[in-house]
Structure 1
């Protein structure tokens, strides 16, 4: 049955992360009910499982919604059932949270604590506002030094967009591409399988996967097994590797904030708005479908020097 879940996820062109999450929650649901088949269960069992997540495990609303989406996918898309209870199950409403944002000085401190490829990757995240997955999936062909542009292919929502390429990063990126070329030549001479290609491009263009244009900008230093095809090939840098390096840099900087690599994206948007950029421009750079999502960053315009002054400061400060 889990193979059927994976197959249907791939038929609908969902991401690998979505596939892994749905399989995880379907497996957890079945184990919670002592390995009973989902066809032998229904709305009561689904509600009991979701109540267990909310009450006993105290998961966040977003995690609760993800588990519910996985189970509705299982019953609706895999088992082909559209039952009344599927519409009656309550969906938790996620609360809007303010993002964690680093100041410019804090960003500089963290960046200076990183070295090599990790430093370049962090600079790219802060300089362009990319998600970490978008940066790691960059191909050589996506960098346009002549136009000063960086192309994001199949970003969140399977959408393309173009962002600025910071001029200060051009020398570092050129050096990175020179090292990438050496890795690519080594793979070609060793006869290793090419990099992963999106959709069916490896059949339409059989040799494209072995070309430098499609090679990763941030390749892994070793080969690994493709989780879907089982082919041994070179993957891009693992996000967990960079996350650990970022955490070490944050700790060494003595910054007491719950920051992650995604915080660099929040800081990019916040600092653009602080410097006077139009919110529609920021929305386009971030790839948000709705400007309401981008509006969350306007909280920075309501505090600090651009906002109201505290009455305590008026009373006690000259």
Structure 2
């Protein structure tokens, strides 16, 4: 990396600091820092102030043509570089209009049939089985489920409050009754871990900066603890404090993949497939699309309408002309 007064280690620290001022997630921060580092290395460790639209366009072109990254990945790299120039360096971007964003293909989501969901869930057990059931039963995104706090599980009203979903929005989703007992057990386990951590001098869960300042004691309160805590304590990259974070997403991702193979499901199903299946099966059951939009947390109804295309296939859609031929 470039060193000195304009060295990139110092620059990357500025990027991290600006990410935290903007309250970006730690995942976004890591992604932005990674792309900015790659951009600097790809241009001979030159400082970004000495570069502009030509270098950004060339970098994105190499990603697409040589590395064949997906459109979403290319756009994430562009977002990181725009953040660097606009928010960190404060540089005007007269060349911005010349940088073309990759067009993401509009694909019909992979959806499991009800019988396939049943086979998948029966092939899972324990914490990961409970989490997979929550993804299908509530329509939550993977990280929304993993970041769930104890206080946001409402057993009385049979609902879950999803905090800070995509776009920073809160919403309510139904709490499946058949998961109630398992959730009670999981929360009891989480609280026992919390008590053990407190006795060991830890027990303060991570909170957003504003909440941590407003409620200095909240991080050790029972309600703020994660429903699905990690097995071990780890050092928080934001402040260096040893604390217990939520379960890592890779644990559930591997469990779903393994269960899919055991269940003999050939569709490329993932954790997000359970969210797609939630929406599609509600539509099949006659639920109105506006309600489904609210449950999924979609800003635009057109995003939810993609599931109507799924319903237009097979026996629920147009009958093939082959099946109309005499003797067919």
In the superposition, the TM-score normalised over structure 2's length comes to: 0.94
Of 162-171 and 81-90, more deviation after overlay is shown by 81-90
**Alignment partner of 1:45 out of 45, 55, 65:** 55
Aligned counterpart, 1:190: 200
**2:44 alignment partner, SS class:** coil
Aligned counterpart, 2:33: 23
- Report if the CA contact (8 A) 2:195-2:203 is conserved: no
Distance 2:275 2:12 in 1: 35
- Report if the CA contact (8 A) 2:230-2:244 is conserved: yes
- Report if the CA contact (8 A) 2:279-2:307 is conserved: yes
Shift of 1:248: 0.8
Q: For structure 1, which runs of at least 5 residues remain unmatched after alignment?
A: none
Over residues 201-260 of structure 1, what are the superposed CA-to-partner deviations in whole Å (9 max), with x where a residue is unaligned? 223222211111111111111101112111100111000111111111111112111111
Distance 1:42 1:29 in 2: 11
Aligned counterpart, 2:90: 80
Shift of 1:316: 6.2
**Alignment partner of 1:231 out of 241, 250, 260:** 241
- Report if the CA contact (8 A) 2:109-2:310 is conserved: no
Of 103-112 and 282-291, more deviation after overlay is shown by 103-112
Shift of 1:149: 0.8
Q: Is it true that 1:125 corresponds to 2:135 in the alignment?
A: yes
- Report if the CA contact (8 A) 2:36-2:84 is conserved: yes
When the two structures are aligned, how many residues end up with a matched partner?
Answer: 318
Aligned counterpart, 1:286: 296
**1:180 alignment partner, SS class:** helix
Shift of 1:317: 6.4
Shift of 1:304: 2.2
**1:268 alignment partner, SS class:** helix
Aligned counterpart, 1:150: 160
Shift of 1:92: 1.8
Aligned counterpart, 2:256: 246
Of 185-194 and 126-135, more deviation after overlay is shown by 185-194
- Report if the CA contact (8 A) 1:129-1:286 is conserved: yes
Closer, same or farther: CA 9–317 of 1 in aligned 2, 3 Å: farther
Aligned counterpart, 2:311: 301
**1:206 alignment partner, SS class:** coil
Q: For structure 2, which runs of at least 5 residues remain unmatched after alignment?
A: 1-10
- Report if the CA contact (8 A) 2:186-2:227 is conserved: yes
**1:221 alignment partner, SS class:** coil
Shift of 1:94: 1.4
Distance 1:92 1:105 in 2: 37
Aligned counterpart, 1:167: 177
Aligned counterpart, 1:7: 17
- Report if the CA contact (8 A) 1:223-1:234 is conserved: yes
Aligned counterpart, 2:3: none
Of 194-203 and 109-118, more deviation after overlay is shown by 194-203
Distance 2:95 2:211 in 1: 41
Over residues 105-159 of structure 1, what are the superposed CA-to-partner deviations in whole Å (9 max), with x where a residue is unaligned? 1111111111100000000000000001000111110011111111001111111
Distance 1:83 1:271 in 2: 46
Of 124-133 and 39-48, more deviation after overlay is shown by 39-48
- Report if the CA contact (8 A) 1:193-1:232 is conserved: no
**2:232 alignment partner, SS class:** strand
**1:162 alignment partner, SS class:** strand
- Report if the CA contact (8 A) 1:274-1:300 is conserved: no
